[in-house]
Amino acid sequence: MMSSPRNLEYEQLWLNAHTDTRAAVYTFSSCITLADLNADGDFKLVVADLGTGSTNVKLKVYKGTSLHSETALLDVPTGVTSFYMDLNEPRMPAIAVASGSNIYIYKNMRPYFKFSLPSMDINPLEKDLWMQVRDEQIEHGVFIELLNNLRAEIGFSQMSTQSQHLLTLDSSNTSSFVQQNCKFPVKRQTVVTCMTTLKKALAEETAVSCLVVGTESSEILVLDPEAFTILEKIKLSDEDSTTLAVPAVLSACGLHAVEFRIVAACRDGSLRLARRGWTETKTLVQLPAQPVAMTISPDNASITIALMNQTLQCYSKKGKLQWMINLPAAACALCPVPLPHQSATLVAVSLNGGLLQLYNGRQLVDVIKAPQSVSGLVFGRFGQEENALIMFTVDGSLLVKILKRTAHFNLNGGGNTASVAPGAAQQIKLQIPKKTRLFLDQTMRERDNCVMMHRTFQRDLFQLRVDVARACVKALQSCNNPVSLEGAEPLKLSAQVLGLGPLFKMVISLQNISASSMIQGLGILFHFDDKMYSMDKPFINVPLLVPGLEYPFETMIRNISELALSDQVRVLVVKDGQSQPVLAAIINMPVCDLLGMV
């Protein structure tokens, strides 16, 4: 069967580097990572094989196309990621495996540290029931009945692990379970649902990163990479609602020491945001369906998310829907595809049935066909290759495709076509000047003092805002404002000075800007230096002001100074019975023409 020309055009962009249908690796995208484990430039594939779901769970390392090593895991993992813990040389990353209520840290693929999530508070009534059954004060049947009543009151998720296990057993096994576990202390332990990383102080590829963990207890924890203490603890709730949401997918961007954004897609279909210094998240948007996978764009922090209703949607960092496209099948996985040579980041979406589509925004730029549905995929450096796409299918097959170095996606056209070879204009090398010593010293200074520079900028910005606010308040209190903000007299004042001098005509215009109310009892008062100016009418009575009309008032003012100097004239709009002006304006008088004074 011959392939269509369109499929041949797509196939030209990728090289089929490796296909292993007998790999028997069952995993998801959250359990796959690429890391330079030995700091030798040879990136290896680290994947958590879920096995049957309860047995044969292993952490496998692939070097090239062969299995390099494997380590048995005690429980089913929910996330695997690589991160740099310290600044030691050589720069070797650690592997974090989230499994149950623990996070296992591996260095050189050897166990290094185990972090356990903190225990949660236990309901006092539940704890008292276990103590009574341990002391044989109540019978087992009564004990189980009271636990069922407590579950209906506080919820199944708020009970301890022992109670949850007991309430799921058959009635024939409950007595033996109570006898075996009543002597152990009652614990309520949460589990890890998702995990990602966040750069700590620098945005470099090998910079130290913090672990960001989402838990079943509706919390986001940010862990220190060296001491593994909790740096941030954020509750997945907002001020407007007391309901909690369990995170399903986490994505983070920014720097923990400066400013960061953590976006959590929750099981209830909500998209929530956490930032530096927050103790609770903020709901960005309520999604129309549950999330499948999510990624954040490094350019503008936009959020691209695949949903269970066969749609791919993109939201701005403030939660506004930018675009939405309908997928031909249900989405199974999603991963970003950064292309630095084209200054773009694509999004690869695997669909049910084996189809994998690459999007630049809402534009489809490439299509890859796999033999089975892809359950997990990752894009990045693998071995010595810069751009490798690794896919695991639902039947356990391993597929490795390498993007050709001459491949060039058509990111500007409206169609779904792609060209292979770059144009002649793109092959011209730019004459980039050499980096001077001053430039390098300045770069090092900015990198070493980035936190202090950012804080200084923020402090000056806040000081500027405070000074502007104080000046605005001072102007309002002193009535030096051409527009009245009083609700009873909404007025607008404007002034003009006509003439070359020494005799000037001053035109004052008043306008009632209210909707329907009329204003009366006003007057215009001029305040000036009588040694500099003389005025025919220093006070003008204002008639009834009708809304919407502009009323001009004229007066003549003469400069009587022998030196032909200029000064300011203050115009005050006053009202009968009030000691404070309604509004005021300051007019800078022009300099007199010397010829006119002769």
* Cα–Cα nearest to 95, from 249, 209, 192, 261: 209
pLDDT of 250 higher than 90:
yes
CATH T-level fold of 483-588: Immunoglobulin-like (2.60.40)
DSSP 383: B
Tell me the per-residue pLDDT of 143-162, one tens digit each, with 9 for 90 and over.
888 888 888 888 887 888 88
Tell me the per-residue pLDDT of 285-314, one tens digit each, with 9 for 90 and over.
999 999 999 999 888 889 999 999 999 999
| pLDDT value for 6 | 42
Phi/psi for 6 (5° steps) reads -65, -45
Tell me the per-residue pLDDT of 513-572, one tens digit each, with 9 for 90 and over.
887 888 888 999 898 888 888 888 889 988 888 888 889 999 999 888 877 778 888 888
Q: Taking residues 130-142, report their average pLDDT.
A: 85
**Cis peptide, bond prior to residue 328, ω within 30 of zero:** no
pTM of the model: 0.65
β pairing state of 66-72 and 58-63: antiparallel
Q: Taking residues 368-393, report their average pLDDT.
A: 93
Q: How confident is the model at residue 478 (pLDDT cuts 50, 70, 90)?
A: low
| pLDDT value for 483 | 58
Integer angstrom CA distances of residue 407 from 7, 134, 287, 356, 491: 15, 70, 36, 18, 66
Grouping H, G, I as helix, E, B as strand and the rest as coil, residue 579 is coil
First to last CA, the chain: 105
% of the chain surpassing 90 pLDDT: 41
Instruction: Indicate the average pLDDT of the chain.
Output: 85
Q: Taking residues 160-177, report their average pLDDT.
A: 84
% of the chain surpassing 70 pLDDT: 90
CB distance 587 to 527 below 8 Å: no
Alpha-carbon distance of 187 to 169, in angstroms, equals 18
Integer angstrom CA distances of residue 232 from 190, 195, 260, 335: 17, 14, 12, 26
| pLDDT value for 482 | 57
Residue type, 449: N
| pLDDT value for 562 | 78
pLDDT of 178 higher than 80:
yes
Q: Looking at domain 27-119+191-328, which CATH architecture does it have?
A: 7 Propeller (2.130)
How many beta carbons lie within 10 A of that of residue 259, not counting itself? 13
